[in-house]
Amino acid sequence: MKFKLALAQFAPRLGDVDANLQTILAYLARAQRDQAHLIVFPELALTGYYLKDLVPTVAARAAPDDPRMAPLFHASHHLDIVISFVEQDARWHYYIAAAYLSQGRLLHLHRKVYLPTYRLFDDSRFFAPGKTFRAFDTRWGRMGMLICEDAWHLSSPYVLWQDGADFLIDVSASPGYGLTTGTDLANAATVKNFLQTYATLLTTFVIFSNRVGIEDGITFWGGSHVLAPNGTLLATAPPFDEALVYAEVDTDALRRARLDLPLLRDEQRELIRHELGRVAKFELDRR
Amino acid sequence: MMNALPSLNLALARRVIVDFIRTELARFGFQRGVIGLSGGVDSSLVACLAVEALGAENVLGVILPYRTSHAASRADAELLAQQQGMATRVIEITPLVEPYVAAWNLDARRRGNVIARARMLVLYDQAEEFRALVIGTSNKTETLLGYTTIFGDNAVAIQPIGDLYKCQVRQLARAVGVPAAIITKTPSADLWEGQTDEGELGFTYDSADAILYRLVDERRHPEDVIAEGFDARVVYRILELMRRNHFKRVPPIVAKISARTVGIDFLYNRDWGT
């Protein structure tokens, strides 16, 4: 199966949902015109990242009757959409969420599990953590979603892989830091490095959508890209600039990669589960 | 002893800072910047980066001599402005400062602070006329040491080189073409005759950069920095300056009374809504 994937890399306005929705709809129109089948937006594309006390005022429910989400549900009749936003649940918890919308329906909602709260991050002051990593079926194959920090914990892609995901979608608002002599900022180099490792060792597609722009002096580095299941780069957006880039995805690459490198076939999941259980029990007994 | 900091990808630093200047002014509806030009490496570098970000016609260099200022300071500032094709204005601050200094018989340090704040006053007023924001020229070394006049030279809208140590400022200045004479001359606030930064601080910028980099960026223990061969007195002096001058780096603290207090639990980015 072949399909056309789009990555929309842009700079949301901080806390201006209406303006961001217009930008997103414009990207959707372009991607639809260019006959893309799936478009992936970066983390908190609808709201901007350093929201702090703006969180409750920019939130939306993950439902087609929410006025902020309705145009996106509607647009998903034309192409599948991965959109990230502040999700508000029925008991007034707020999550950093990513929704996979397809044919007017919510196929899957992922809530960011790992909320970085150190150095330049303060996520868990303002958000509740998600509790699950679950793969889900789409028209284009089985996928799993990660939001930024989720991907830094290598167990998250592992679980999604074992849950059948052939596509790992990582939506990010990654602020660049740590300038050295390298081509990239230090953390950008780290992200590129581990994503390529995931694609290669999990023999899955990796779809990375990262935002650009600046919020209070903190620069988001962009560099959105798509990796094939053998780690080769299928498409990449430039650093720092807004861009809409496309990748032609041929799912036969999964078959070929797994014939070359049958790591998925040989994975000893039960052994790993047993060993993790032993370690967890040991920790518990020791307390 | 290894004094040098790891070198930087200067092209990337330049890219990030130029984008920062353009974006962070534009978000508040400004396309123009005003910079106080001292003829030193910090303001020269900021002027070059601002010209790159905004265009020479959108950057105004204001030269603010006091009666004791070195003639060379003004000449270097004018040389830089000419090289960058940006307009300058020379505004003597002596008439502004002198009556107050004379009336209160100020010593050099107090007079220095008054001079720095008089410059701030003029820059903010010029910015209003030029429909611009004031672009700061503080580097990371002086910010961490607190080698600054609060509400004087640190009273600005944005700080483009605030995360670059002095030695990195020099490297980037070289890369963007600041004249060598400006880069290599002895750093001085030029607030009184014979003043030099290093003379006043009691240690060199190179040693301050190396020590600060280890303590702040690399989170090393002071004892380990000393064990590397750095002068223990300088290391502890720097730690003390960092702590004692922290008030210059934060907004004034507020006595909390109500349910939500600005700066404590009323938390928004400056860039809110833009």
Rounded Cα distance, A136 and A157, in Å: 14
pLDDT single digits (tens) A111-139: 999 999 999 999 999 999 999 999 999 99
Quickly tell me which residue has 């299928």 as its tokens.
Answer: A234
pLDDT at site B193: 80
Query: What stretch of H or E contains A39?
Result: strand A38-40
State yes or no: pLDDT of A180 exceeds 70: yes
Q: Which residues of B touch A184 (CB under 8 A)?
A: 12
Residue A181 · residue B8 · CB < 8 Å: yes
Q: How confident is the model at residue A58 (pLDDT cuts 50, 70, 90)?
A: very high
Q: Which residues of B touch A240 (CB under 8 A)?
A: 15-16, 19
Asked if A123 is an interface residue toward chain B (Cβ–Cβ < 8 A), one would say no
3-state secondary structure of A33: helix
CB spacing of B9 vs A182 below 8 angstroms: yes
Question: Of the candidates A179, A216, A219, which has its C-beta nearest B271's C-beta?
Answer: A216
Rounded Cα distance, B76 and B73, in Å: 5
Rounded Cα distance, A102 and A125, in Å: 32
Task: Identify the closest residue of chain A to B160 by CA–CA distance.
Answer: A217
Q: How far is CA A221 from CA A21, A177, A181, A207, A224, in A?
A: 22, 9, 16, 16, 9
Which domains are delineated in chain B? 10-191 (3.40.50.620)
Rounded Cα distance, A32 and A75, in Å: 9
Pair of tokens at residue B274 = 């833009």
Beta bridge partners of A171: A147, A209
State yes or no: pLDDT of B1 exceeds 60: no
ipTM of this complex prediction, to 2 decimal places: 0.92
- Dihedral sign, CA of A9, A46, A31, B20? negative
Residue B195: exposed, middle, or buried by beta-carbon count in 10 A (0-12, 13-18, 19+)?
Answer: middle
- Name the phi and psi angles at B134, rounded to 5: -80, 125
pLDDT at site A204: 98
Bin A217: left if φ > 0, else alpha if -120 < ψ < 50, else beta.
Answer: left
Q: Which of A75-79, B2-6, B26-30, B241-245 bottoms out in mean pLDDT, i.e. has the lowest?
A: B2-6
pLDDT at site A286: 83
| Range list of H helices, chain A | 17-33, 55-58, 70-75, 123-126, 149-152, 155-162, 186-202, 252-260, 263-266, 269-286
Pair of tokens at residue B267 = 């938390």
Rounded Cα distance, B222 and A31, in Å: 55
Query: What stretch of H or E contains B71?
Result: helix B71-84
pLDDT single digits (tens) B210-224: 999 999 999 999 999
Q: How confident is the model at residue B189 (pLDDT cuts 50, 70, 90)?
A: confident
Distance in Å, alpha carbon of B255 to nearest chain A alpha carbon: 20
Query: What stretch of H or E contains B21?
Result: helix B10-26
Q: How confident is the model at residue B3 (pLDDT cuts 50, 70, 90)?
A: low
State yes or no: pLDDT of B37 exceeds 80: yes
pLDDT single digits (tens) A159-173: 999 999 999 999 999
pLDDT at site B220: 97
- Rounded mean pLDDT of B59-74? 95
- Rounded mean pLDDT of B58-78? 96
Instruction: Work out the number of other CB atoms within 10 angstroms of the CB of residue A72.
Output: 22
Mean per-residue pLDDT over chain A, rounded: 97
Pair of tokens at residue A248 = 């032609």
Q: How confident is the model at residue B192 (pLDDT cuts 50, 70, 90)?
A: confident
| Range list of H helices, B105-187 | 108-130, 140-145, 166-176, 180-184
State yes or no: pLDDT of B7 exceeds 90: no
- Rounded mean pLDDT of A5-28? 98
Residue A86 · residue A58 · CB < 8 Å: yes
pLDDT at site B4: 74
pLDDT at site B38: 96
pLDDT single digits (tens) B111-145: 999 999 999 999 999 999 999 999 999 999 999 99
- Rounded mean pLDDT of A95-116? 98
Q: Which residues of B touch A213 (CB under 8 A)?
A: 23
Interface test with A, best of B264, B268, B269 (most A CBs within 10 A): B269
- Name the phi and psi angles at A230, rounded to 5: -110, 10
pLDDT single digits (tens) A246-263: 999 999 999 999 999 999
3-state secondary structure of B102: helix
pLDDT at site B179: 97
Distance in Å, alpha carbon of A242 to nearest chain B alpha carbon: 13
CB spacing of A14 vs B272 below 8 angstroms: yes
- Residue B42's closest CA among B4, B76, B3? B76
Q: How far is CA B98 from CA A8, A31, B8, B53, B95, in A?
A: 58, 65, 43, 37, 6
All residues at 6 or more sequence positions from B176 whose CB lies less than 8 Å from its CB, including other chains: B14, B45, B48, B49, B52
Distance in Å, alpha carbon of B7 to nearest chain A alpha carbon: 6
- Residue B25's closest CA among B135, B163, B164, B139? B135
Tell me what percent of the residues of chain A surpass a pLDDT of 70: 100
3-state secondary structure of B264: coil
All residues at 6 or more sequence positions from A280 whose CB lies less than 8 Å from its CB, including other chains: none
3-state secondary structure of B108: helix
State yes or no: pLDDT of A38 exceeds 60: yes
Burial A77-88 (b: 16+ CB within 10 A, else e): ebbbbbbbbbbb
3-state secondary structure of A144: strand
Rounded Cα distance, A83 and A45, in Å: 7
CA angle A13, A189, A182 (to 5 degrees): 110
pLDDT single digits (tens) B84-120: 999 999 999 999 999 999 999 999 999 999 999 999 9
- Dihedral sign, CA of B189, B194, B199, B205? positive
3-state secondary structure of A99: strand
Give the orientation angle of helix B10-26 with respect to helix B166-176, to 10 degrees. 90
Q: How confident is the model at residue B2 (pLDDT cuts 50, 70, 90)?
A: low
Write the DSSP string, A149-207: HHHHSTHHHHHHHHTT-SEEEEEE--B-----SSSS-HHHHHHHHHHHHHHHHHT-EEE
- Rounded mean pLDDT of A68-90? 98
| CATH architecture of structural domain A2-286 | 4-Layer Sandwich (3.60)
